[in-house]
Amino acid sequence: MIIETAKRLKHLKEYYFSVKLKEVKTLQDAGNDVINLGIGSPDLFPSDDTIDTLITSARRKGSHGYQPYKGIAPLRKSIASWYQQTYGVSLDPETEILPLMGSKEGITHISLTFLDEGDEVLIPELGYPSYRSVSEMVGAQVRTYPLLEEKNYEPDWYYLENEDFSQVKLMWVNYPHMPTGAPASRELFEKLVDFGRRHRILICHDNPYSLVLNDKPPISLLSVEGSREVCLELNSMSKSHNMAGWRMGWVSGAREYIDAILKVKSNVDSGMFLPVQEAAVAALQNSDEWHQERNAVYRKRRAFVYQILDRLGCVYRRDQQGMFIWAKVPVQLRSVEKLVDYLLYEYSIFLTPGFIFGEKGARFIRISLCTPEDRLQQVVERLQNIQITDADAWERN
């Protein structure tokens, strides 16, 4: 006898990478040298101070007990100092910052905090899949808003100003944008804050990529006047500090919002491991030179990714920010899904199909920069004689 699962699972699919990486692992176990260009999991190390602090803290008596639900005070103060230095934004470390086990956790906590069953949520037509899946999981109604490719994937303001949003409670935004690499701008953020205030919609900005391959001063949505009334901002150390597996992020915003999210969070976890929190304090003090060195590595890798995309006949922009390159496949190729499987099973190369980020991504692929240069060079060599249209005729045995 099998007990029936909750109704919320009936339309909830297992995360794409969870499924596909099982295939990759099976191929690797069979002896195939699969080069994974799909996942944005930094392979570079955190700073030496970060790792040393973790080790020292882990060896100290008293480090292994439960910790405050709000995180330790030195961490919140360090986040506040980092926000001031990085974005010019002043945050109260006691009331306006809530550390999280990664920003992905924050998507769930925010949704549980603000959405009742039947509330409507605006999500971008291209975006992180968890915005949709978590909204549906809590019983909210998803409404997709268009992004304009010709305007560097900014929201379609004509659409947003001519629809009935009386039932919309929350809107997800993400700039620098994933997966397209479109940059943030102050003008865009001012429009978002104004839109949220006029329509009484909570604007939730997911901001993990602002320090990665961004040649301009990074921007926070919370730097816009009036943003505290209608905005929350998630941030993460996964990409910016090479700490993806450490699960360290936070949400920032007005005290009333933070206190409400804490009600949910305090019923879900029992605080973060103290050595991780103390190591995060050290990481937030990384020098500008440390960040520049990380970006220099990504720039070298990006040059190889351009070669890979050229071999595949793709079209792409060279001004993308973040740790991915978003590219459109040739018009003569009929199926991106077949291309992805063709590259995986025939060339032992895994990359991400754009359709997992939304229907508008059906003609795109995404390549991660989290692969060493020598492995990227191997990909270039493997694709030396590829005929991309062969993917259309390929059938998996």
Same domain for 200 and 55?
A: yes
Domain that holds residue 383: 7-45+288-393
With CA atoms as reference, report the closest residue to 251 among 77, 86, 101, 29. Answer: 101
Number of domains in the chain: 2
Say what the pLDDT of residue 3 is.
83
Of 262, 283, 304, the last residue of a domain is 283
Q: What is the pLDDT of residue 397?
A: 58
User: Is position 37 within any domain?
Assistant: yes
Beta carbons within 8 Å of 79's beta carbon, 6+ residues apart: 91, 93, 97, 99, 250, 252, 284
Reported as a single tens digit per residue, the pLDDT across 71-80 is 999 999 999 9
Which residues are 120's β-sheet partners?
141, 168
> Which H/E stretch holds residue 245?
none
Is the Cβ–Cβ distance between 357 and 282 less than 8 Å?
no
Is residue 68, in this structure, part of any structural domain at all? yes
Q: Are residues 118 and 39 in the same domain?
A: no
Q: 283, 303, 325 — which closes off a domain?
A: 283
Question: Does residue 233 share a domain with residue 148?
Answer: yes
Residues 264 and 323 in one domain: no
β 315-316/324-328 pair status: antiparallel
Domain boundary among 283, 310, 334: 283
> How far is residue 332's CA from residue 57's CA, in Å, rounded to a whole number?
57
The reply to whether 201 and 250 lie within a common domain is yes
Q: What is the pLDDT of residue 2?
A: 83
Cα angle at 44 between 43 and 46, to 5 degrees?
Answer: 125
Phi and psi at residue 99, to the nearest 5°: -65, 145
Q: What is the mean pLDDT of the chain?
A: 94
The segments of the chain whose pLDDT lies below 70 read: 11-15, 396-397
Residue with tokens 């050595």: 275
In a domain, 2, yes or no: no
Q: Is residue 176 part of a domain?
A: yes
Residues 160 and 33 in one domain: no
Same domain, 128 and 146: yes
> Residue 371: inside a domain, yes or no?
yes
The CATH number of the domain where 13 resides is what? 3.90.1150.10
CB contact set of 355 (below 8 Å; sequence gap of 6+): 336, 337, 361, 362, 364
Taking alpha carbons only, the member of 204, 161, 205, 153 closest to residue 357 is 153
Shared domain check, 122 and 218: yes
Q: Kindly provide the residue ranges of all beta strands, DSSP E only, lying in the chain, ordered along the sequence.
A: 35-36, 97-100, 120-124, 141-145, 147-148, 154-155, 168-173, 202-206, 231-236, 249-253, 315-316, 324-328, 349-350, 352-353, 364-368
**Is 1 part of a structural domain of the chain?**
no
Residues 356 and 231 in one domain: no
Q: Is 365 helix (H, G, I), strand (E, B) or coil?
A: strand
Q: Do 296 and 272 fall into the same domain? A: no
- Give the domain CATH number at 230: 3.40.640.10
Do 347 and 293 share a domain, yes or no? Answer: yes
Give strand pairing partners of 99: 250
The 202-206 sheet, strands edge to edge: 97-100, 249-253, 231-236, 202-206, 168-173, 120-124, 141-145
Provide the pLDDT for residue 10: 73
